[in-house]
Amino acid sequence: MITGLNHITLAVSDLQQSIHFYMDVLGFTGHVKWETGAYLSVGELWLCLSSDTPCPKTDYTHLFCI
| CATH number for domain 5-65, candidates 3.40.1410.10, 3.40.50.2300, 3.20.20.100, 3.10.180.10 | 3.10.180.10
Tens-digit pLDDT profile for residues 30-66: 999 999 999 999 998 899 999 988 777 777 776 666 5
Backbone dihedral region for residue 45 (phi beyond 0: left; psi -120 to 50: alpha; all else: beta) = beta
Its pTM surpasses 0.85: no
Measure Cα distances from 18 to 9, 29, 36, 66 in Å.
Answer: 12, 13, 12, 26
* Beta strands at 5-12 and 29-34: parallel, antiparallel or unpaired: unpaired
Sequence ranges of the domains in the chain: 5-65
Q: How many CA atoms lie less than 13 Å away from 51 in the CB half-sphere? A: 11
